Structures are given as C-alpha cells and as structure tokens.
A and B are shown apart, each in its own frame.
Chain A
Amino acid sequence: MSSPVPPPRFDLAESFPETGEPAARAAQDLPGALALLTARRPRGGAEYGVALDALAAADGLDEPLDRHLAEHPDDTEARVVRAARVVRRAWELRGTEPGAQVGAERFDAFFALLARAEQDLVRVVVAEPADTAAWGLRLSTARGLALGTSEAGRRWRHLRAADAHDVRAQREYLQHLTPKWGGDWGRVDAFVGEVTAAAAPGSAEWALVPYAALTRWYDDHRAEGTSAMRWPEVVTGLDAAEQSFLAAPTPSRYEAVLAHTDFAVALGLAGKRGRSAAHFAQLGPSLAPGTWALGADHRSDLENIRASALAEGRRR
C-alpha cells in the first residue's frame, strides 16, 4: 500500500527551519532577532527574504517594534520589519478579489496601511539606498497604492542599481508592467528579455519566463482552457528558459523553490507532463504559493502530476 502524497508546504520557513530563527527569537529578544536577521544579509537575498517573511507573520511584535523604534529611530532593520508586517497585513485585508468587489471602506483601510508602511520604508531607503528589501517592499506598496508604472520604474531602477538579480523584486516589478496595473504585455516581454539576457545558467531568474507566461495566461486566457499555454511561441520560450535553468545548479535553495514551482505549473499547463513532474520531484513537499494559485481551475490536474512525481520519487 502506497503512502499518501504529502500536502503542499507553502511556508519556506517550515522547509528551511534556519530561516525561522529570527522570528522564533523575536518575542523574547527583539534586538537579538534583528541581529540574526541582519546576519542573513545581503538584504533582499533569498534567505533574508524568507526570514523577513517569517518575522512579518509572527504574532505579538507590533508593540515591541514600536517601542524599539521610539528608542532607536535610526534602526533601519527594525523599520524594514515593521513595514513588512504592515504591508503583509494590508494585502491580507485587501484579499484577492477583483478591485470592483473590494468596498471603499476596505480600500481606504488598505491604502492607509500601505501609506503607513511607506513612512518607514522611505526612511530606510534614504538612509541606506542599497537596501533592496526596502525597495522591494516599496514596489509592493506602489502597486497597492496604484502609483503607476512611472513610479514603479523609478523604484525598480533604484533596486536594480543595488542588485539587478533580486528574483522576488523582479516578479513584483513584472506585475506592475502587466495591463491590469497600467502596463502592457510588450513591456512585460521586454523586461523578461532584459532580465534573462543578464541571467547566469542555473539562475532562478530564468523562471521569470514561465512566471510571465502564466501571468498572461491567467489574466487574459484562462477562460479558454489551457490552449494559450500551448502556443508555439510560449512553448519555445519555456523550452529555452528551462534549458538554461537546468544547465547549472541553482545557487539559492530558496529561490529554487520559486523557480521549480514556476516551471512545474507552466509545463504542466502546457501539456509537458513529464518535464512538469521532474520539477515537482525536485520540489518535494515544497511549493511556492503564488504560482501554485495561478494554476486556477487546473490545480487538480497539477496535483495529479505532482502526486505521480512524488510517488515515483518514493519508489526509487
């Protein structure tokens, strides 16, 4: 009798327990937790980002952070953590419904939270212009506040000047360039081209190709089934990107989860079940929640591919 397929594990801190250490320590020792977080620099690096996410989600830190910042207003690390918590709360409040279904009152509260986070983030980036975590959060606030592609572009260029290969920030900026946030698909394609032109073999940046393809399919074509994911130009792009991604080991274990999830879902929808399964096998129980959600109505099919991949892995 075969054992059941493990449920998806979306929390990276759970997959990589060492990234949860700052959050685990924060309630008893906030300065110590902040020091642990700082030790995971470079800011915006994948491990730092996962640790920051865990701190952003931890309970009971708002008052200690406020007190700490009242005493240490120049502690930019604490400001980043406070802002990350507020940004997370803002997006949770907004939910994932289309804008038309979000009432004015909820939008007002959403904007107010993002504006509050901006107050901390601007102080961080002017004190430490190379803080990519703060710039990355500012890309998120800019999108929620609907500041437009001009301001998003300015923020992205500041971030890029510090680290052109920040995978999470690239995805955030790509969202700004889509039509629903004021851009167009031509700008998305150009941005993906710009990123991959500078990406090393094995880099998770190659997964921006499936991420962009999935985003476009989800926004414009999901009502038509999966045919748009099988268009020749889409498949050709996925093939080339996958080849470059697999050409060398991925330096970051955390970014690898993002990238493998992108390829697994995109190739699955494109009908390349075998190659999709290979990425699911690499992921094991881990999955990146954002891309998984893009699978939309086809998640049961993807779950089948994933189940067979994980079962095959166990038989070996």
Chain B
Amino acid sequence: MSVLRTEVDGVPTLFAERTDGHVTGGLVFRVGWADENLAVRGLTHVVAHLAMTGLVEDVHRYVDTHATYTQFRAQGTAQSVSHVLSGLCTAFSELPVDGLEPEKELVLAEADGRHRVPRPDALYRYGASSHGLCAYPETGVPAIGPDLVRVWAAEAFTRGNVVLWLSADRLPAGLRLPLPEGPRLPPPAGADSRTPTPAWYRSPDPDLLTVTGVVPRSPASVVFTDVLGAALHREVCEEHALSHAAGAVLTVRDADSAVVTVTADSHPGERAGVTGGFVDVLARLRWGALLDEEVAAAARAAADQVSRAAADHETVSARAVGELLGIPHPEPDEHAAALAAVGPDDVRACAEAFAASSLAGVADRGLGWAGWAAAPLSSPHELDGRTYPGRDGHGTALVVADEGVSVVGPGLRSTVRYADLVLMTSYADGGRHLVGGDGFGVEVEPTLFAIDGAALARIDEAVDLARVVRAPARAAQDLPQPRPAEPDPPAPVPPPAVPHAAPDLTPAASRPGWRDRLPRLGRRSS
C-alpha cells in the first residue's frame, strides 16, 4: 500500500488508504518552539491550544508542539475529522482570545505536571536560542497577550506553511481548509554548536551517560547509530555487566543533519567503566576492527524495517513532517536499497562526524583523559564598569557596564551583554534576571548586591524591551539572601525558574516594542 501525494484546497496532502472504517488525519505546520525566543518561550504552544478551544468535544484530537513543527491530529468519522480540520483552519484567522488566560493557565499547569528532563547538552550546543530552548521552561507564557498570539498565528499558521495528511477509505469530499495565505518558513537558525566540540560537561544524573553528536542525515547515519548502540550494549551490558540499558537513537534535525544520542545507565560503582566502554566503542568505529558483517547486519536490519513498514497513519504522518521540513522520502524499495548499500567506510565517516561534534555528559573524572575538552563553566570575559560589592563578604561583585552586566567572584564569572540578551525577567521587587544567548545568566538582586535604584534604571534603559518579561514582586521569604558559604560555581544556564507570575496586565500593544518580541523568522518585512 503506498502513500498518495495530492492537494486539498491548495494544501499539499499525503493520503494513505485504509479499509477499517476509521479516519485519522492531521495538519502539520512548520513552526515549533525552536522558532521562538526565550522571552516568548511557549508562544507556539499557547496558540495551538487556543486554536483547539472552539472545536467539537466528541472527537479525539490533540496537538503536539515539537522543535520545528506543530502537529494537530484528529480521529473519528470522515465528517468529524473534516469538521475538526476545517475548524482549526478557521480558528487561526479568528483566534478566541477571550479564552487566552485560561489556556495559558492550562499550558502552565501542563508544564508543572510534566517531568522536566535537564538538557545541558542542548544548552551547550545551541545556547539559549533555537534548539537550545528545550532546556528552558515556557518562560514567556505569563506575559503573552492577545496581540502576540494573533500575530504569531498569522505568521506561522498559514496555507503555505502546512501539510495535510489523511488515513481513510477515501479523501473526504468537500474538505475546506480556510487558512490565511503565507509562505513556508525557513528552518530555525543557529544549528552550529556554541561550545567547541568535542566537549564534556558534568551530567546532571551522575549514573547516566549521555552523549550527543551531529551527523549528516543519510542512510549511513541510520546504520552507524545501530552499530554504535549495539556495540555499546554488548560492551557495557553483556560483556562487562556495568549497565542495565545502553544504546543510541537517531533524531532527524533538519533536511541535512541528524542528532545521534547515546545513553547508558550504570550499576552502582560502575560509572567510570561505562564511560570507558563508550570511549573505546566509539574509537573502534573510528579506527578499529570494524567488521564487515557487523555493518552488513545493521544495514540489513534497517532495510528490513523499511521494507516491512506499512503505509499506516503513523507512516503517513511522519512523511508529512518530512515533506514540511524538506526531507526527501524515497519509496520503501529505494530506501531499503540505500540502507543495504551502506559499508564500513560510510559508518567510519559518521563516527568521525559524531566524535568531532560530540557533547558528553559524564560523571566523576570527566573525559579530559580521552581528548574531550571541558565545556566552559564561565563566560569568557567580564565587563568593565561600575562595581557593586556583594553583601555576602566573600568577594562576589556585580559589574554594571554600558554594554551589559557581569557577576564576578572567586571562581565565578558570568556576563550578559545587552546586545546578546535573550531574556530579562523583571521583578517588581527590583530583581532582574538576565540571560544571554550563550546561556550564561546574571541575577541582579538588590538583596545580594549593594545596588541602588539608579543602577537598576540604567539596566532597564539599556535592555531591549522586546526581551523583557515582567513578574510581580516575590514574597519576602522568597527573595535570595546572602550565603555564608562560598558561591556556587557559575552555571552556564540555570534555566530560570518559570516566573509563574500573574500576567502583565498592561495591554501589550501599549508597551513599546511589543511586536519586536516576536522571533525573527527572516520573512515578511513589515
């Protein structure tokens, strides 16, 4: 059974026939959280939620927001699915902004209930923008107003920026998709690593090794991932019993590249052995005894999987995502043949690319001994400006300069330049939390530094208002207090705590720069 490519109401459509009487369909838009910036982090999710609010309740439908796309799905009868898809398209032109605040509450409640997996790898690779935003909570949600959601819907949820997919006995007759006009958005920028690689950082879970690396998107990368995962499992799980679970997965990032993620847990006391096993396995794929049969078996397995894949709704949905992101999708026979043709030299080339771009989260001794550099824990420079001493008496100081702010102290240097600012959370109690595009942050706290109102005003005047999220005053017991001990080492991230603040009630349009808060998508000069 094959997938038919067609068009419905001017929208590219992928259709797979099914005969069980069910209908499943979806709309996939080329917009996701990697298109946002930290000051509006969560905007796509809120718009997607809002668009769903007016739809009929008796149809199974849901929405997923990913890094580079957002997918709506519905399942039911042909009529009900058509109704949902049409209704969604209409909603983007007439978003029910009266329901914005409850939807924002829902989005924040979802985030509260979700287990947040720390993603220092994304932060080190991408900083606090594009794909690195997955390291942060949906910081921007509290301050999102009606104007912002309308503009975002008009920018991203358009006819040129969507693919429809359907799995049904036939294409529903008369399906209308009344979307606003607009072009396909380019992929998010900033895919190059901000941290020189290969590099290691201390894993937030010391019993879990996590290594990511970027490889060209190709049949070889599929086989490489399989060979790497199987070899690691054999080394640390089967032969040395150091780990319970170890393997590698491949995630397509865009038309050109994919990310290989290696994970391995460790039995008590065996972390270093797991890390050492990984180093040796990767080295073997680069320089060592890579067996033709080992590669051939992985290639055959991948080819078989492609050949066996049915044209079900999951397949057609995945192809729709691929089409949207510009990822060619060969026919199964062609794809299987390409996988089967992958040889050891192709796998070695992938291993080299993976090693060169790798970021490794490890415990204990790090990976300096194996040639990985330590990822930086401090900003490269501190700024020269007026210094405000810390109240803890341990030599920590805040520097407010014309071009930004630094916090410095023993073993501590973190700088945010205003030109690179991606977020400033502005608390009504005087606190200012600044985050730079590289992920380093400076928390300006009057309770911690002997800073006066004039200095705060200097900061407020210097920052781009489009990057400011306002938050109410914190309770006295929640304000940070000078610590008697040495300061913590500077964290190149610390995803700021979600400012679960009541929304800023100032009408967005009346605040200067509100429109600039939108991410720069590189289209539509306004």
A residues at B contact (CB < 8 Å): 111, 114-115, 118-119, 122-123, 125-129, 141-142, 145-151, 153-155, 157
Contact = CB atoms under 8 A, between A and B. Distances in A.
B280 interface: yes
B277 A126 contact: no
A115 B277 contact: no
Contact of A145 (B239, B240, B287, B365): B365
B283 A111 contact: no
A233 to B, nearest CB: 28
B271 interface: yes
Given A115-B370, A115-B371, A127-B289, A154 B242 contact: yes
A122 B369 contact: no
Contact of A126 (B240, B242, B280): B280
Given A111-B368, A122-B280, A148 B288 contact: no
A161 B251 CA distance: 36
Given A118-B369, A148-B364, A154-B242, A126 B287 contact: yes
A217 to B, nearest CB: 27
Contact of B272 (A111, A118, A126, A150): A150
Contact of A151 (B276, B287, B371): B276
A238 B269 CA distance: 32
Contact of B240 (A114, A129, A148, A154): A154
Contacts of B272: 147-148, 150-151
A19 to B, nearest CB: 30
Contacts of A123: 283, 287-288
Given A111-B368, A118-B369, A147-B272, A154 B277 contact: yes
Contacts of B274: 150
A125 B370 CA distance: 14
Interface of B: 239-240, 242, 269-277, 279-280, 283-284, 286-289, 364-365, 368-371
Contacts of B289: 126-129
Nearest to A114: B369
B371 A147 contact: no
Nearest to A148: B272
A150 B371 contact: no
Contacts of A119: 371
12 contacts: A114-B369, A118-B369, A118-B370, A126-B286, A127-B287, A129-B289, A150-B270, A150-B272, A150-B276, A151-B273, A153-B273, A154-B273
Nearest to A129: B289
A182 to B, nearest CB: 9
Nearest to A147: B272
B240 A157 contact: yes
B370 A146 contact: no
B451 to A, nearest CB: 35
B203 to A, nearest CB: 15
Question: What 8 A-B pairs come out closest when comparing CB atoms?
Answer: A126-B288, A150-B273, A126-B284, A151-B276, A151-B272, A148-B272, A154-B273, A150-B270
Contacts of B371: 115, 118-119
* Interface hub of B275, B365, B369 (most chain A Cβ within 10 A): B369
Nearest to B287: A123
* Interface hub of A115, A119, A126, A145 (most chain B Cβ within 10 A): A126
Nearest to B276: A151
Given A122-B280, A126-B280, A154-B277, A147 B242 contact: no
B247 to A, nearest CB: 18
A146 B274 CA distance: 15
Contacts of B365: 145-148
A115 B288 contact: no
Nearest to B235: A154
A151 B275 contact: yes
A169 to B, nearest CB: 16
Contacts of A126: 280, 283-284, 286-289
Given A111-B368, A127-B289, 7 more contacts: A115-B370, A118-B369, A145-B369, A148-B364, A151-B275, A154-B276, A157-B240
B382 to A, nearest CB: 24
A216 to B, nearest CB: 22
B277 to A, nearest CB: 6
Contacts of B288: 123, 125-127, 129
Nearest to B236: A154
A114 B370 CA distance: 10
A271 to B, nearest CB: 39
B506 to A, nearest CB: 54
B370 A150 contact: no
A118 B11 CA distance: 57
Contacts of A142: 276
Contact of A111 (B239, B242, B369): B369
A146 B240 CA distance: 20
A196 B167 CA distance: 69
A152 to B, nearest CB: 8
A78 B479 CA distance: 62
Given A127-B289, A154-B240, A147 B276 contact: yes
A177 B436 CA distance: 47
Contacts of A147: 272, 276, 365, 369
Nearest to A155: B276
A145 B279 CA distance: 15
A141 to B, nearest CB: 8
B20 to A, nearest CB: 51
* Interface hub of A118, A154, A155 (most chain B Cβ within 10 A): A154
A122 B271 contact: no
A180 B240 CA distance: 24
Contacts of B273: 148, 150-151, 153-154
A24 B289 CA distance: 33
Contacts of B369: 111, 114-115, 118, 141, 145, 147
